[in-house]
Structure 1
Amino acid sequence: MSLEIKELLIIHYAGTEGAKGTRRNCFPIPEPAPYLRVAVSRWLGVGVVEPRPESPDSCENLEMNKWFYQAVCLSLASASSLSLARAQDGSTTSVTVAPSTPMAVTVAPTAGAVVIEASTNLVDWSDVTMLFPDSGSGLFIDTQSTNYPFRFYRMRTIVSAANNLVTVNSATDLRALSAVSGNADVTVRGYSTAGDGGGGQFYWDPASTDIDDGGVTIVPSSNPPSGRWKRNCQGEVNVKWFGAVGDGRANDSSRIQAALDYVDRQGGGKVFLPKGFYLVIGDTTNGLRIGSNTLVEGAGSSTVILSKAFVAISNKGWMWSSSDPSPGNNNITIQNLAINCAKQGVDGIGFFGVTDSTIHNVRILDPQGYGIWLVRWGDVWGSEGKPTQRVTVSDCHVTGVVDVGIECSGAVSCSVVGNTVTGTKGIAGYYAWNGATDCTFTGNVAEGEGTNNFFNGYEVQSSDSNNSNSAKTQTRRISFVGNVARNVSIGFRIGGDTTNKPTDILIQGNSLVGFGKDSKGVLIHDALRVSVLGNRISDFDNAVMLNPANYGYGYSGAAYVSIDNNVISGGSGSNLYGNVGGSFNGNKFYGHQIWLFAWKDCLVNNNVFVNPGLGQEAIALSVIDYNGIGSTGNSFSGNTCIDDRDNKYAIGTLAFGEGNHDHNIITRNSARGAKAGATAFANFGSGTNNIVAGNIDAPLAAE
């Protein structure tokens, strides 16, 4: 850089001990020089000016003692004048620069920020401070200058607002700076330390009075009434900007929340959590709270929220207050991250009265409550609150469940697609209840952890019986299509109570695998219009259970139940009680028997039974009365029994047991593939007005 200093003003103290005076010496500079060195001794009026030094060597003949005013060297570009003021009162105890005697630097009014550097040898330079002049003038103090025998200074560069060359290491360093004009720019290397991910570009907004949000707006430590550092940012907001550490030890709750609050104040945006372990410690309510129109995204499974909160992540609108009396939020997306509750946090994600939102590719580990909870929020005595509505949960993975994996509680039109839930016990992997309406579960997996677990795959229950609202919404129109349940205690459970029944439930095209003894494939009780269609059900002790009175349920609690076109294998058999107006058609059973108790006005047609009974003679389909109530008005047609074992045990396709079974139609049933002499239909009851025709028994052995 070229030097263009026209005048040097030195203010110094001099005199004898106890009698010091102040002198000002002004030295004109006749011509430009690359550096300027000034030395002043303890003696009044003694000074040396060297306008053309090439190095500090010529300083060695000057007086270098405690009274010495350090040599000063500056190199300026486009500078018109320079004023230096130094405090050195001659005492042996004072070695600091007095705040009342700062250095004043004058540069061209159009210049931006300048970097003041210092050196003791004109070779090795280090930053002293940064200066943001207003109309070409500014002040700085070098508090380290008195620690050296002499000190050289220069301006490394002059920086405009466009090229952002001024640099500090941390947000704390940035807070120590202030400016008086709008052309100051700073690069911050990190939030706490350089390279920690929290750095960025900042500019000075002299008119701003915004609060310090910890990441985008920074208020100087001097706390000016106006003037703020503003982060130059567009697009996503990084939680590291607000000081989130992500080391699994520091409590990052308030830092991440600060990022979420900033985006919320802007009306929405994206908050990004880079790779790391973020500890979230909540109170009795929740951990992180998200506003509307907000996308929260991580870097995949390498972004982990370690939750010790009641709810690790939830929407803001469920914490009622006088300033926010309405529950709910909208347009929230949470994706590509993991939440580890570590058996300490209760719930993973809670949406309370949220609409039009998405939860995607989130892994939740070991929640003590719900993995993902979609809730109608604000129910009070006698009235219902605001439902979570049109939310999609997709490609999420919830493990270690002991209560519920993904729950729709009063939710409306929500889609749960392509998720995996595993657990050891609890209500279910997937759960719809309390007035959930028009919700679909598609392509999901529910898997029990360990053998002989108590984990249920999917469950539907009625409205909350504790809700006294007489007009409460019933759980209805819930669909389960193309899902998988394996190694589970119960594949599906659908039911309410005698006065409170879920309705219009579809279970179609699912694959269910149990673990044998005491496991149940599909359990239905106290429900209306349930359809079990086209499923594959295997390895359950009881493949299908309807109103199982032998387990304490009402024998006719569920009605209009259709169990059609399923393939069922394994298990000892199934007891189905009290169906009315339903159907049992087109199913295929391998090694499985069926007992129907007190059915009424149902279609039982075209079922195929292969190898029923194990080690003893068996009838494929038995019709039994229940407490004196027989089966009436049913159609039994086209059912077939096949036994291809070397030792055949199937002795019949259909049989009516004791009791009054009236007004049934029994036609075209066949036992031709069963044991020799097996009957297509045998009647051991006392009913009347049954139509029996066209049934085909198995031929006798001699035939």
Structure 2
Amino acid sequence: MRKVLSFGDAILTSPPETFAAWSNPMIFNTKDFGALGDGITDDTAAIQATIDAAAAAGGGEVVLGAGTYIVSGGEEPSDGCMMLKSNVTLSGAGMGETIIKLADGSDTKVTGIVRSAYGEETHDFGMKNLTLDGNRDATTGKVDGWFNGYIPGSDGKDSNVTLDSVEIKDCSGYGFDPHEQTVNMVIKNSVSHGNGLDGFVADYLSDSVFENNVAYDNDRHGFNVVTSTHDFTLSNNVAYGNGSTGIVVQRGSENIPSPANITITGGAVYGNGAEGVLIKLSSQVSVSGMDIHDNGSAGVRIYGSTGVDVFDNTLSNNSLGAPVPEIIIQSYDDTSGVSGKFFSGSDNLIRGNVITGSHNSTYGVAERNEDGTDRNSIVGNTISHTSKGLTLVYGDGSFAGDAFPLVTVQGSEANDIITGSAANELIFGLAGKDTLNGGAGDDILVGGAGADKLSGGAGADTFRFDQLTDSYRTATVSATDLVSDFDISQDRIDLSNLGFTGLGSGKAGTLNISYNATLDRTYIKSLDADSSGNRFELGLSGNLKDTLNASHFMFQRVIEGTAGGDTLTGTEGNDLINGNAGVDRLNGGAGADTLTGGADADILTGGAGADLFIYTSRLDSYRNYNASGTKQSDTITDFNTAEDRIDLSSIGLRGLGDGSANSIYLSVNADGSKTYVKTNAVDTTGNRFEIALEGNLLDKLSASNFIFSTASATNQAPVLNTPLIDQNVTELKAFSYAVQPGSFSDPDSTALTYSATLTDNSALPDWLTFDSKTLTFSGTPGGTASGLYSILLTASDATGASVADSFAINVGNVAPGTLTGSQNAETLYGTEGDDTLLGLGGDDTLRGDTGADILNGGAGRDTLYGGANADTFVYSTLTDNYRNYEAGGLTATDTIADFTSGQDKIDVSALGFLGLGNGENHTLYMTLNEAGDKTYVKSATPDADDNRFEIALSGSLIDTLTEADFVFGQRESQEILYLPTLGQSNARLLRMTEDDNQSGTSEMVKDLIRYTDYDVRSQFNDANGDPIDLAVGGSTVHRGWLLDRHAGRTACFLVANRHRSAGTGTAARHRIAQGPTGDAEYARSSHHRHCLEPGRRRRSGDSPRHRQTGGSRFVQSVAPQSVRLPARADRRLHGVHGRNRSLPDGRSQGSRLHRGKNQRHRRRRGICAQCAGSHRP
């Protein structure tokens, strides 16, 4: 049983139990303290009073019902709006149901809309089932949603904090911001979105868990674990569409301990602007079981961190914003920064991950070529779709392979004998004459200094030499290592640190291979000595002279830049340096280096040696000569015409010339300080290829300094210059993405055509269109279109050669509601919920999708799709949906494309239609077009402008539509105005001939019109449904009815109906309806009398339905129920046929009428129910 305290003026000062002792806490309702939750009144004081009362009572649950509670901040930022106290939980009716919203116009800093008290150790408190709304668009000043903590830098703490099912949105600062310090905190099942900084922060938390939460569309990070947080778990959380990184673990300041013992497990991270997961300046962090995809930068970046274990994750299609590896490991040099320290990126483990690269992913896993990035192990990962390789390692003791080297074995300065195990091992001999035996497994053996004996053993082994003096010969000394069991099928020799270019004569940076038959030994040697007289030499047992080739060697060191501005310096060897995007500074150093600057204006220095400068796109280096054009040309600072070369073969340039037709020309600037290599050919945006070389080289450069494309007849495929950018959009909101000009180009300078599909080559979704001329994607996703769409854009030249790039469109959900169009033609999409779609003006298309939707197209010729479930199509103005049948008339007819009879409804109640019929007298009728594929529902009655209501339904529904499929207006109740007595006399009275210009019915209607404003005349129609002129005879009897508006009673009477052919009379059946009981019965008999031909009485042989006699048909009237009349009505109305009855005032009930030229007298019996016979009928 829950204990409920409802406070009026009384205050509970001595609670019978403490908060901690209650299994079900006491309830404190904010309504009892004056909170309204009406979205207008400021409820801050009322809510705080409720919290204070709960705290004074020892604790409890402060309840806010459904509604919007306006709150405002205190005088100081640390006051927040409301302060929770120990043992108090703030509880709502659910996220989106109970909303605590910061007041419009708030202009102060609010450190927590809801928070714990500053400088107080608060314990056992929390919040659940509600939304905090920072009202970002209508406020100024930094606003955080939730804040708790003691005092930064102090020993106090908050503890035992639980937040469950809480939404925080639209705060200009942080969403959830628990702070220094908090112990034992749980945030679960919660959402943070639309905030100006991070969605969830863990700032100095310990023994805490964030689980099953979602952070999306925040301006910075989704989750930010920072400032000495330790022993902390992120479990099954999702971070997507955030401006920077999905999940960050990082050090918050240089003088405090870094985060440690952090576990990140399960969940997904995707569509974020930067990395999926960033581990920076932290230690002992594990990342496992996550789905990391479609992020702007690397899937995982380990930055200046140690002891990070990344395992059993799925990474795919990351690096969308720039060419980088899917997983990057690097050190962090802050020696010249705030901390003055260097943070290594060492001793990390990447294992068991499935990695699928995007078009930009250079490697699956790669180390940066930096000091302090050592002893990292990249083991057992499944890697595919990378542009430069699967893995890349530089560091001492680092390893990449299919299996994990369980042991790193290191020798000493002495002569060591080291034998490995069956595992994959990295064995260092160091100095001394060592004997290294790898044993089983794929081992790396580094003998180091001294003449070492190396045996790889079983497995694919690598023999690595980091210094020339690791294995060498001089004129007098031999310190040559011997590899005793080199396996030509799988072993390799790593010489990438020594600068050799390949196999050859042994001269000019090459290595010679020879065989000594006496020793049965193959030698790999350089014939060029260094400055100390040392020449590299390595011996291999056996004769391998004719089987060794370049594939058995690793000659070059690869140095990779990032998408930003990098400074990359090579070694003394032959380096391959790739700057990638950004304004880079590349220096090859010594050796024959290969430099590729990539996009943007790079500064390239080859250094000593014969260097090669490679260009793979004409947009790697270009100038735009338009008025507002840009200059993005590279500068080569030390081009040596005697040995350096520029490779232009990949971009289709074929020789020196005048700059046209895929040629280049040379020019020098006015002061002779720069020489330009350029083309005159421009691409579609006015860009021309151009490189600047320092100095005046005009007379020294020749074709030998270039590598041109030699296959002049071979077409070159288009190239991608700028990767496409992922997009985020919300359902029902218009979307447009214009691809940046110049993203694609053709090396042959031919025009390109563009096409777009999904990446599986299927068509784009219906809501998305692509303009191949403007390269613009646009559309409005419908209410059920949420999800991730992977789009493939292909650029093709005239020969069909093509290049493609993909990007993602992430469509987020939108809540159901009212969707209103404009006065223009447009398409509105409903959601999966119950929506109201209002088209307003224009020829609109409304699609309700799922849910019980209400659709009103408004003016114009609209097309309406209700979608699944029971939908209602509303028509509120006749001129919204009409046809004008006059010559030159207009048609504005809506079409309901998917009407389901028995489920959907057509609401015409606002137009005054009362039912189905012949289209007259407030009824609608139906027709089918000639093709039988469209059903029209229309009125036959025009308005003053000759417009008639009309709508169309796709399909043949004329046999299935019933009144149950419509919402009609209600008939106005009418008082009984006139009641003829039934019988032979009346039948005779109402029989008319073609020369009867003054029928009994005509006279009756004239009398009725005198006593009521009801449209009596509209009740009389002919067999075709056309109104009759009661002043003209030649009519037959037809049915009609009137209602008693006081008591809902119904009576029947005979009315006239124009016959199609003169001289033929038909007696029609009477309509009789059941009315509520009253004080007079109209008929007590179980059946009505029959209408007979004049002078004829019904015989026992007459058909109970009808009998044909003399061209007249006798129709049996409907058997009546007891029909009640007003108390004033004559109870003798069902009297004998043809007799005169006396009315209450003594006058005769009968009356004579002269009928045309025959002067026949007809007797009419009747009574006025309104005055009980006080006037003549």
- TM-score normalised to structure 1 length: 0.50
- Comparing 680-689 with 303-312, greater Cα deviation is found at 680-689
From 598, 604, 611, the equivalent of 2:394 is 598
Contact 1:637-1:666 within 8 A present in 2 as well: no
Match of 1:458 in 2: 247
Give matches, 1:186-585, under 5 Å.
235-283=26-74, 284-285=77-78, 286-301=80-95, 302-307=97-102, 310-318=110-118, 320=119, 327-343=120-136, 344=139, 346-352=143-149, 353-376=157-180, 387-426=181-220, 428-448=221-241, 454-465=243-254, 467=255, 472-488=256-272, 489-496=274-281, 502-515=282-295, 518-541=296-319, 542-547=325-330, 557-571=344-358, 572-574=361-363, 575-577=366-368, 578-585=372-379
Q: Distance in 1 between matches of 2:223 and 2:483?
A: 40
Distance in 1, Cα, partners of 2:125 & 2:261: 25
SS in 2 for 1:581: coil
**CA spacing shift, 1:391–1:482, aligned 2, 3 Å:** same
Matching residue of 2:736: none
Match of 1:257, as an amino acid? Q
Residues 9-48 of structure 1: pairs in structure 2 closer than 5 A: none
Amino acid paired to 1:585: V
**1:487–1:255 Cα change, 3 Å:** same
Which letter maps to 1:569?
A: T
Q: Take 2:183 and 2:482, find their aligned partners in 1: how far apart are those partners? A: 47
**1:331, distance to aligned residue in structure 2 (A):** 0.4
* Residues 666 and 565 of structure 1: CA distance in aligned 2, closer, same or farther (over 3 Å): farther
Query: Following the alignment from structure 2 to structure 1, what is the Cα–Cα distance between the partners of residues 205 and 124?
Result: 16
Q: CA deviation at 1:348?
A: 1.0
Counterpart of 1:543, as a letter, is E
Whole-Å separation in 2 of the counterparts to 1:665 and 1:339: 72
Q: Distance in 1 between matches of 2:49 and 2:89?
A: 15
The answer as to whether partners of 1:604 and 1:634 remain within 8 angstroms in 2 is: no
Q: CA deviation at 1:433?
A: 1.2
Q: Secondary structure at the match of 2:294?
A: strand
Task: Tell me by how many angstroms 1:297 deviates.
Answer: 0.6
Deviation at 1:248, TM superposition (A): 1.4
- Measured at CA, do residues 576 and 247 of structure 1 come closer, stay the same or move farther in structure 2, by a change above 3 Å? same
Which is higher, the Rg of structure 1 or of structure 2? Answer: 2
TM-superposed CA distance for 1:602, in Å, is 3.3
Cα gap change, 1:297 to 1:691, in 2 (>3 Å):
farther
Aligned-residue Cα RMSD (Å) equals 4.4
Contact 2:314–2:354, Cα closer than 8 Å, also in 1: yes
Q: What's the offset of the Cα at 1:607?
A: 6.4
Aligned with 2:63: secondary structure? strand
CA shift for structure 1 position 407: 0.9
Query: 1:77-156 alignment to 2 at 5 Å?
Result: none
Shift of 1:561: 0.7
Once the 2 structures are TM-superposed, how far is the Cα of residue 314 of structure 1 from its aligned partner?
A: 3.9
Task: Summarize the alignment of residues 637-648 of structure 1 with structure 2, pairs less than 5 Å apart.
Answer: none
Alpha-carbon deviation of 1:199?
12
Identity %: 21
Could you tell me whether the CA contact under 8 Å between 2:101 and 2:133 is conserved in 1? yes
One-letter amino acid matched to 1:348: G
Per-residue deviation at 1:670? 12
Using the TM superposition, give the Cα deviation of residue 525 of structure 1 relative to its aligned residue in structure 2, in angstroms: 1.4
Counterpart CA distance in 2 for 1:425 and 1:243 is 36
Q: Is the 8 A contact 1:478 1:506 kept in 2?
A: yes
Please say if residues 315 and 329 of structure 1, whose CA atoms lie closer than 8 Å, have aligned partners that are also in contact. no
Could you say if the C-alpha distance between residues 654 and 350 of structure 1 is closer, same or farther in structure 2, counting changes exceeding 3 Å?
Answer: farther
Q: Secondary structure at the match of 1:264?
A: helix
Equivalent residue in structure 2 for 1:589, among 383, 386, 394:
383
Contact 2:391 2:400 in 1 (8 A): no
8 Å Cα contact 2:7/2:33 also seen in 1: no
Call closer, same or farther: CA 1:514–1:373 in 2, change over 3 Å.
Answer: same
- Could you tell me how far 1:342 is from its partner in structure 2? 2.3
> Counterpart of 1:331 in structure 2: which amino acid?
D
2-structure distance, mates of 1:264, 1:329: 11
Matches within 5 A, 1:173-188: none
Structure 1 stretch 473-482 or stretch 656-665: which is displaced more? 656-665
Q: For the residues of structure 1 that align with 2:189 and 2:294, how far apart are their CA atoms?
A: 24
Distance 2:437 2:115 in 1: 52
TM-score, normalising length from structure 2? Answer: 0.31
Q: CA deviation at 1:473?
A: 3.5
TM-fit CA distance, 1:685: 2.7
Per-residue deviation, 1:526:
1.3
> How far did 1:596 drift?
3.0
Give how far 1:397 is off: 0.6
Contact kept, 8 Å, 1:430 with 1:459, in 2: the verdict is yes
Task: Tell me the CA shift for residue 637 of structure 1.
Answer: 6.1
Change (3 A) 1:657 1:280: farther
Q: Which moved more, 1:596-605 or 1:440-449?
A: 596-605
Cα distance in 2 between the residues matched to 1:288 and 1:210: 22
Paired residue type of 1:560: D
Amino acid corresponding to residue 254 of structure 1 in structure 2: A
Q: Which amino acid aligns with 2:347?
A: Y
Structure 2's unaligned 5+ residue stretches are: 15-23, 104-108, 150-156, 320-324, 405-435, 444-459, 472-480, 499-535, 542-546, 552-1177
Question: Are residues 583 and 527 of structure 1, via their aligned partners in 2, closer, same or farther at CA, if it must alter by over 3 Å?
Answer: same
Please say if residues 299 and 326 of structure 2, whose CA atoms lie closer than 8 Å, have aligned partners that are also in contact. Answer: yes
SS of equivalent to 1:262 = helix
CA distance in 2, matches of 1:329, 1:390: 12
1: CA distance, partners of 2:168 / 2:540: 58
Aligned residue for 2:496? 685
- Residues 560 and 581 in structure 1, CA contact (< 8 A), matched pair in contact too: yes
Instruction: Kindly state the Cα deviation for residue 483 of structure 1 after the two structures are TM-superposed.
Output: 2.4
How far the C-alpha of 1:258 sits from its partner, in A, is 0.5
Distance in 2 of aligned mates of 1:601 and 1:521: 24
The corresponding residue for 1:50 is: none
Counterparts in 2 of 1:686 and 1:307: CA distance versus 1, 3 Å: closer
Residues 416-447 of structure 1 deviation map (CA, whole Å, 9 limit, x = unaligned): 00000002531x21111111111100000000
Distance 1:359 1:462, change over 3 A: same
- Deviation of residue 259 (structure 1)? 0.4
2:688 is aligned to none
Q: For the structure 1 residues 199 and 586, does the alpha-carbon distance in structure 2 shift closer, same or farther, using more than 3 Å as the test?
A: closer
| Structure with more relative contact order (C-alpha pairs < 8 Å, separation 6 or more) | 1
Distance 1:680 1:367, change over 3 A: farther
Aligned to 1:96: none
- 8 Å contact kept, 1:423–1:455: no
Q: Indicate how the Cα distance of structure 1 residues 524 and 313 shifts in structure 2: closer, same or farther if over 3 A, else same.
A: same
CA deviation map 1:239-258 (0-9, x unaligned)? 11111111111111111001
Q: Contact conserved, 1:603 with 1:634, CA < 8 A, in 2?
A: no
2:482 & 2:102 partners in 1: Cα distance? 62
Alpha-carbon shift at residue 289 of structure 1 (Å)? 0.4
